[in-house]
Chain A
Amino acid sequence: MVARFKGQYGTGIREANTYLGQNYMVVDPSIISEVLRILRDREQFDYCVDVTAVHYPEREKQFDVLWILYSFSKNERVRIKIMIADGESVPSAVSIWATANWLEREVYDMFGIRFDGHPDLKRILLPDGWKGHPLRKDYGIIQQDQEWVKANLGIESGQ
């Protein structure tokens, strides 16, 4: 399968490897939506297990956005990873798998990564007016949005 992709995209596929028995592919951000679509249609990865991100602040391309996909017919799981810089946005996978709707909202909520083409990109777990994206490494663990807490709860944050 990897050979097919490499043949089609050449340098677009940065890396395809197996670690501890789990296959993953690192892909160029520009071709990611096509790759995902091909994975669903041709390679039968019809179930999107998870969409998530990891933040590496020291790297130039700070964020790792991951899609974990599973194929019922092949009983196989694969991880697709792209690396983007802060502020870049990623094409949304909602049109490919409906699961991605809330999963991408959560990534946006926690990391601040925008997804183009998402029907309703809003904060999902945190209150609507919250400032800041908690799972970034520069957000302290007991830090809260001082302004929101004061305005809405009337107390000092961090209590």
Chain B
Amino acid sequence: MGKGQPGDRERPIIMTDRTMFDLKPADPKRIDEKYLSHLELGEPDKTFLDSNELVINMGPQHPATHGVLRVILKLDGEKVLGTECVIGYLHRGVEKIAENRTYTMFNPYVDRMDYVAAVSNGLGYCEAVEKLLNVEAPPRAKYIRVILTELNRMASHQLWLGTHALDIGAMTPLFYTFRDREEILKIFEKYCGARLTTHAFRIGGCQYETYEGFERDVIKFLDYVPAKIDEYEELLTTNRIWLERTKNVGVISRADAIALGVTGPVLRASGVKWDLRKAQPYAAYSDFDFEIPIGTNGDTYDRYTVRMEEMRQSLRIIRQAVEKIPEGPIMAKVPKVIKPPVGEVYHSIEAPKGELGYFIVSDGSTQPYRIRVRPPSFVNLQALDIMVRGALVADVIAVIGTLDIVLGEVDR
């Protein structure tokens, strides 16, 4: 391995060889001072040379899921004293792009933020712009939107379950949930041509009429899936090892949850019975009868049961919706060129991960003046610090999994 040969580590050859942190993993003393994170506990710079405390980096690449998230942990042996998340690796400047596209052109961009559950992003955006235009989608479009959004919620929770179980060590649920998720993605593909970034809705309604056999496919799915959810539960819910890994891990109390602004299943597992689909119904949710599962302790196991129950409730909603889809137009009377009047509006929906909000400022032209996306994962990720204080390193991974973060949404 002479100089210039492939094994030569002195000369950086590719971009990723030259990083800000040019240090060997064994030598923590060489971390460049100005990049050291300032954790809130004690003196930031001096303490990592302390004998007991160790600053470890859970680097941007992860062997399992979750995308590029960097967590800097300050450890005392195995116990976590504090964490700091460094995000922004996936920042694409979606909000800036929005100011240079028209309202219709921006619709596909929205799917790419929470790429796991793309349909809900589209729903939030379209409904926000419709609010600005003061139009309402026709009833048939609303029902189709509800069906697709709830299918999307199921798909998102299934992916969450698979990857969360994988992080904790159970390899098999991943494959089972992905197989069932395939069925949902097949329906999406038949409906709008894309599996993951669906761009399913348009401003004013839906563009595509439901295809021939849509109801039949959905009902077949509804008959097939409850047994599968039972299978996942059988593997995990009463499994002793699962219980030990998830009970009392990552507890967040009700007061903390409200103060930190977490939403979605995390909030519901802490005991707050609040769901935007019931509190401020949008898109025909008021026509359906479903329950909101809540938990008591706010630990990982409660979040798991809340999401499993949400899956079942989604099935309930879809069944009710499919049985009574009304006939009618699928697109409201929206002008070809969308020019909302001057004003601003904030509209939020209950995405699978929490409250997804869109704040749109319009200046009367065809391009939005400012679009702000309020991502649920971004705000939920703040709670990571509180949840893992005093836990062990292995729990940090479990908690990141249970918060159900999608980096595309955190970073936009």
Contacts and interface: CB of A to CB of B under 8 A. Distances in A.
A62 interface: no
Interface in A99-137: 99, 101-103, 106, 110, 119-120, 123-128, 134-135, 137
Interface residues of A, number: 42
Nearest to B267: A47
Given A102-B378, A134-B96, A141-B97, A97 B259 contact: yes
Contacts, number: 100
B359 A66 contact: yes
A77 B40 CA distance: 32
Interface in B362-411: 369-370, 372, 374, 378-379, 381-382, 411
Given A20-B345, A52-B372, A126-B91, A141 B100 contact: yes
A49 B379 CA distance: 9
Contacts of B114: none
B51 to A, nearest CB: 26
Interface string B90-101: 010101110110
A139 B97 CA distance: 12
B279 A49 contact: no
A123 B91 CA distance: 12
A54 B369 contact: yes
B279 A75 contact: yes
Interface string A42-63: 0000111110101100000000
A99 B132 CA distance: 27
A99 B382 contact: yes
A90 interface: no
B40 A141 contact: no
A152 interface: yes
B18 interface: yes
A154 interface: yes
A98 B372 contact: no
Contact of B15 (A50, A124, A153): A153
Contact of B91 (A46, A119, A125, A155): A125
Interface of A: 19-20, 22, 46-50, 52, 54-55, 66, 68, 72, 75, 77, 79, 97-99, 101-103, 106, 110, 119-120, 123-128, 134-135, 137, 139, 141, 152-155
The 7 closest A-B pairs by CB, nearest first: A99-B261, A125-B88, A125-B91, A50-B374, A52-B372, A98-B259, A54-B370
Interface of B: 15, 18, 20, 35, 38, 40, 87-88, 91, 93, 95-97, 99-100, 131-132, 134, 256, 258-261, 272, 274, 279-280, 343-346, 348, 355, 357, 359, 361, 369-370, 372, 374, 378-379, 381-382, 411-412
